[in-house]
Structure 1
Amino acid sequence: MLKRALGELGQPYPEGAVEKFGALLDELEKWNRRVNLTAIRERREMVTAHMLDSLVARPLLEGTTILDVGTGPGFPGLPLAIAEPDRHFTLLDSNNKKIMFVQHAAGLLGLGNVTAVKGRSEDYAPGRRFDTVIARALATLPRLVEIAGHHVGEDGVFVALKGRYPAEELEQMSNKPWRHAVTELKVPGLEQGSRHAVLLRRA
């Protein structure tokens, strides 16, 4: 099921990636029975809502340093790190249990390109900015740039993954020093128009 779904996405994957995607879902299911990491329990739904919904953002990544803000149990960061071993991913979340899972999964899968950090985006001070900052269903666009915009490098991009076209939020961005572009994302298994990405750059 996973292999077929990944095939529908039409992306090339490095050697061993498909097995790692499967192992990641296995661990998520295992942990989820003991610790509530995600409301999604069904394997089929996990494939669509976690794996494919993360990987669909892969073509939008820029540069070599990626910050996943509010990663939860590692989505989209972990699937993207598996698919992009030459990029470095920092996965940030304030929930201790979720970051413990991210650390465990990254170690288990041998993901040397992942750093897991427990903390809030507002307080996180890594001493550098990132080529891409990505956030999935975390907050409204104005709130996102308020709490995480400072992490975006001068020529970097903030990829905000959204559901339906966020017309109202985009209106609220009109007085912010950010220009935006919106692209529809096609996730196999989800209806058309249900996923969008807003790409924010400094104006």
Structure 2
Amino acid sequence: MTSDDVSRETPPAPSAPAEARGVFAAGLPTAERFAELLAHDGVIRGLIGPRETPRLWERHLLNCAVLGELVSERSTVCDIGSGAGLPGLVLAIARPDLTVTLVEPLLRRTTFLDEVVTTLGLGHVEVVRARAEELHGVRRFDVVTSRAVAPLPKLLRWSLPLAHPRGAVMAMKGSSAQEEIDDARKQLRTLGAGPASVHTLGIGVVDPPTIVVRVEAAPVRD
């Protein structure tokens, strides 16, 4: 199947649900434009599957945007394994007060992200082509986010070194989030991490709600 075939078979992005206005506020037109880019270019370039288009808002945009409930104002955010910009790019649209860095190792994905950032005029978003480990000791952020990147033990090895001493890792997970925390106890101790907790976000906004594991980075020692 050629890209032209995919383009013809790809349905347009669905209209934004009523809940989106409350989540994105003044950024809703930008979120709608991003939804169009995902439904067309994102599908053609293999960043999301064609079957995801009808549920872009519930499964991807709103699902990611509610992560902002845990992020303090004017934070610096690093989204590792950003892929199609989920959740980092969505969070940047919903929260223009944030400074967001999208970290993604694959060229075809960073090319898409660069194009989207330019098209949407997101001056507070930076795209970095790299593996998370390449930024260890080079960059640090208030918050490190991810979605469906890796099991929590491995994810913590990549993410925690990128967080400021009083920052946090926030990983979007599924219903087994607490079990993942239990499985990662050894890594939490080895890395000197702070407390880990499970948060349910977006109740009444997105169904099912978004489940996030939040791990505090090691506090500064005197």
- TM-score class, shorter-chain normalisation, is 0.7 to 0.9
Q: What does residue range 171-190 of structure 1 map to in structure 2 within 5 Å?
A: 171-175=182-186, 176=188, 177-178=192-193, 179-186=195-202, 188-190=205-207
> How many residues are treated as equivalent by the alignment?
197
- Structure label with greater radius of gyration: 2
* 2:42 aligned partner: 32
Q: What does residue range 131-142 of structure 1 map to in structure 2 within 5 Å?
A: 131-142=142-153
Among 55, 70, 83, which residue is 2:81 paired with? 70
- Whether the 8 Å contact between 2:172 and 2:213 is mirrored in structure 1 is yes
Q: Is structure 2 residue 188 aligned with structure 1 residue 200?
A: no
Q: Which runs of 5+ in 1 are unaligned?
A: none
SS at match of 1:127: coil
Higher helix residue share: 2
Change (3 A) 1:64 1:185: closer
Q: Percent identity?
A: 28
Q: Which amino acid aligns with 2:140?
A: R
Change (3 A) 1:44 1:117: same
How far off is 1:12 after superposition?
5.9
Q: When the two structures are superposed, what TM-score results if normalisation uses the length of structure 2?
A: 0.81
Q: What does residue range 73-84 of structure 1 map to in structure 2 within 5 Å?
A: 73-84=84-95
Q: Is structure 2 residue 132 aligned with structure 1 residue 127?
A: no
Q: Which amino acid aligns with 1:170?
A: I
Q: Which runs of 5+ in 2 are unaligned?
A: 1-14
- Whether the 8 Å contact between 2:79 and 2:145 is mirrored in structure 1 is yes
Q: When the two structures are superposed, what TM-score results if normalisation uses the length of structure 1?
A: 0.88
1:138, 1:44 → 2: CA distance? Answer: 23
Deviates more, 1:19-28 or 1:118-127: 118-127
Deviates more, 1:130-139 or 1:58-67: 58-67
Q: What does residue range 6-155 of structure 1 map to in structure 2 within 5 Å?
A: 6-7=20-21, 10-11=22-23, 13=25, 15=26, 17-62=27-72, 63-125=74-136, 127-155=138-166
Runs (4+) of structure 1 exceeding 4 A deviation are none
Residues 4-49 of structure 1: CA deviation (Å, up to 9, x unaligned): 1414xx4362x3x111111111111221343111125443311111
Change (3 A) 1:41 1:97: farther
Q: Which amino acid aligns with 1:54?
A: C
* 2:3 aligned partner: none
